[in-house]
Structure formats: structure tokens, C-alpha cells
A and B are shown apart, each in its own frame.
Chain A
Amino acid sequence: MNFKVATLVIVSILALSLTIAADAHMPGAKPLPDFELTPIVINDGETEVEITIEDVGKYHGDICVCGSCAFRATQSGISQIWGDEIPARDDIRIISRLPTPGSKDCFQYITGTGQGLETNTKGEYKMILPDGTVVANMTKKNLKKPSKQVSIDYFKFDICRISTGESFEVAVKEQVFPDGYFELRKKVKFGIPENATSEEKALFKSDWENIRDRFLTSPDWQLFDGVEEPEEENDVAGGAIFFSILVIASFLLVSLMYSKRSKE
């Protein structure tokens, strides 16, 4: 009897550990790259709050593709709408098409609408799929079904300023994801249309790592549509020095030629 109980306990522990591994974002993924992301600064009532990607990662359990994408999208959207102003948390509305736990936790953390978060004010966060379906129940279990269909069309987020009605759609560029990434994701994560081979799993892992690193290290204009590449600042001083040298040299050359000619 004792042996049976012990076996049952061991099997349960093993099963639990497997669940944790499957739940974890990418078991065995390489460590995060060196990156520098400025925090999202918002006003939570009277207090100014700085939200870092690490805070979001801690809340979610890991810095994953969807979490880092959601963080960067929010950052980009806020800078497009508020510019240099600091937004009030209760003035932010985020409408996301992406039904994944990573992005949900990130947006809920920023808007203060997540479970276990104590904030003075709360923003708004909604999940509306590309077909128009509003996802009200955002539990992990409920997100699993729509998450299977995820494609580039789902990586779109509306960041809105409630007080003025301004809105900016942050859409991830197609080239951020390698070709066939979403089909591979379906195969590896959900076994659709069939289970993935070990090579496909390895490929997916490396793609996943690359995309996550891209979201952590690339500038906004390389990640999102509609964000313009900042113009390089002209080195006016350097150019002015060289231009002056050119003008002086040409003047000297011409005067040298004239003086010689007049001597002759």
C-alpha cells in the first residue's frame, strides 16, 4: 500500500514537473542578450511609476516573445501619442489582438488591471481578436484555443489616449518573424497538423530566441510599421571644417596660378 502511495506521489511530482516545463515559455532557451530598454514611465495618481521589462518579466514569470513585444509596442505607442509627456495610467487604453498569456500579463501590468496588482489608478485593457471576437475571459486555459491561430495579423495593438480619443496602431513588421514561424509554432506547441520532429523543435527554439532578442534589442522602426527611422544628425561642424579647407585650398590654387601668370 505504502509503495503504491509512494509511486503515485513520484508520478504526480513528475507529471507536475512536466506541466511546468510545458508551461514555461521555452525550456532551455539561451539567456537574454545584453540590452538596454528604457522603462515605461506613467503617473499612477500622484506617484510617478517606472515599469521596466524586468518588472513585467517577473510578473509573468519570464521575459518571453509576447511579453517583450507587448512592452515595446506600449512604449512605442505611448511615445507616438504622448510624445515627451508622461501619461496617466487611467488615461491609457490598450486594445490587443494577441491572445497570449505573455502579452496579456504585460498589458495588465502596465494598465494595472492584472490580478494581485495594487495600483492607485487603473487604465483599460481589452483583447479583441482580428475577427472581432472580444475575449472577456483571459485565463490561460481560455486563451489556449485562440492562441493556436496566432499569425502576424494578431500582432497589432491599439494604444489610445482616453481623454483625447487619440489612438495609434502598433503593428509588428512581417520581417520580424522568420518565414514559416507561425506554422512551426502551431506544430511545436499544439501538434497541428501533426507533432513536430526534434529538428523542428530545435528550429522553433532558435527562431523563438531570435525573435525575443529582436524585440529586446532592435529599434522601434525596425520592429513596427508606421514608425519612421530617425534621421541621422548631420555633423555640421565636421562638414563646415572640411568645406572651409576646400574653399581656402581652391582660393590659394587660383591665386597661385594668377600670380604666376602675372609674373610671366
Chain B
Amino acid sequence: MAEKNNLAMICIAILGVVTVAFGLADILVSAGGDGTGLSILEIPGDMFRGGWGGLIVLFAGLFYLSGCKNVAEVHNASKVAMGSVLIWIMAGTDIFAMITESIPGGEDGPWFNSLSGFLGTYAPPYTPAMFLLPFSLVVVYYILKQERTKSTTPP
């Protein structure tokens, strides 16, 4: 059990460090004023999504780091869950923006997008929060599973 907890701690700590790095990158890039993109990763450069959003991602990372030590303990588990919720907010808004963007045909185009245009909207690059989304789901799944085990185990 202790070994399993250690492994969870390491995984959440790594996730926390990566999240903090993404948050800082978001803030620094938007401070520079210009968005930047690697092949599949796009760091937004505007003040709202990049600056404010970066701050949220940064705090998600800090929550992960402060809660990773003993996830079995309810306070730490809630911090990690909080971090995940912050990631979901950011990734959720990004995905929602993607969906709304994919339907209309563009400024000078027709009302509705073509099939290739529609699917092309979902193509990379993606924001850092979207990359963190699957990992944040795994973390919450782990916490919920642990809580369930606790509640079913007789004292």
C-alpha cells in the first residue's frame, strides 16, 4: 500500500511540475505579447487566455504539488482534485471554443463549415491545458477509487 502511495506521489508530483511549467510558459509568452507554437503545442499569447489562463494553470500545478505528498489523506486529496478541476475549466473552455469555431464557415465563407474545415478545426496544435486534461482525469479517478476502497474496507 505504501509503495502504491509512493508511486502515486511521484506521478502527481511530476504532473504538478509539468503543470507549473506550462502555467509559467503561458504567463511568460503572453507577457511577451506574441503567441508561440511548437508542432502540436500552442501557447496562447493574449492577455486573457494566456495571462489569466496561465495563472489558473500555474495554480493547478501548485495544488498538485502541495497535495501530492500523501494523497490518501482527505485534505491532500481535495487539493489534487482542486488542481484537476482547474485544468478541466481551462481545457473545457478550449474545447468549447474549438467546437463553436468549427461550425460556422468563417468570415467570408458560407454559413456552415465544410467537412474538411470542420475536422481541420480539431487538428493540432493544442493548448497546454488540453494536454494535461487526460492526466488530470486519471488523477481524480485514482482518488475516487481510493476513497471507494476506504469506504468498503471494514475498520
Within 8 A of A (CB), among B91-109: 95
Distance of A260 from chain B, by nearest CB (Å) = 12
Give the interface segment out of A31-39, A149-157, A230-238. Answer: A230-238
**Among B95, B116, B124, B126, which residue has its beta carbon within 8 angstroms of that of A236?**
B116
Are the CB atoms of A238 and B124 closer together than 8 Å?
A: yes
* A237 contact set on B, CB distance < 8 A: 123
Note all chain B residues with C-beta closer than 8 A to A246.
95, 122
User: When the two chains form the complex, which single residue of B117, B122, B124, B126 contacts A243, counting CB atoms closer than 8 Å?
Assistant: B122
- Chain B residues, CB < 8 A from A238: 122-124
A172 to B124, CA, bound (A): 35
Instruction: Work out how many contacts link A and B, with CB atoms closer than 8 A.
Output: 32
CA distance A236 to B126 in the complex (A): 15
Prevailing SS type, chain A contact patch:
helix
Closest B residue to A253 by CB, please name it. B137
Q: Mark A199-243, 1 if CB is under 8 A from B, else 0.
A: 000000000000000000000000000000000001111111011
* Interface contact A234-B95, CB-CB below 8 Å: no
> Which residues of B, 2-41, contact A by the 8 Å Cβ criterion?
none
- Give the interface size bracket for A toward B: 10 to 19
Say yes or no: A239 contacts B121, CB within 8 Å: yes
Docked Cα-Cα span, A239 to B123, in Å, equals 4
0/1 per residue, B114-153, Cβ < 8 Å to A? 0011111111101000000000000000000000000000
A179 to B117, CA, bound (A): 39
- What CA separation (Å) do A246 and B118 show in the bound complex? 14
Interface positions of A (Cβ within 8 A of B): 234-240, 242-243, 246
Of all A-B residue pairs in the complex, the 7 with the closest CB atoms, nearest first, are A234-B120, A235-B123, A239-B123, A239-B122, A239-B119, A238-B123, A242-B122
29 contacting pairs across A/B (C-beta < 8 A)? A234-B116, A234-B117, A234-B119, A234-B120, A234-B123, A235-B123, A235-B124, A236-B119, A236-B120, A236-B123, A237-B123, A238-B122, A238-B123, A238-B124, A239-B118, A239-B119, A239-B120, A239-B121, A239-B122, A239-B123, A240-B119, A240-B122, A242-B123, A242-B124, A242-B126, A243-B119, A243-B122, A246-B95, A246-B122
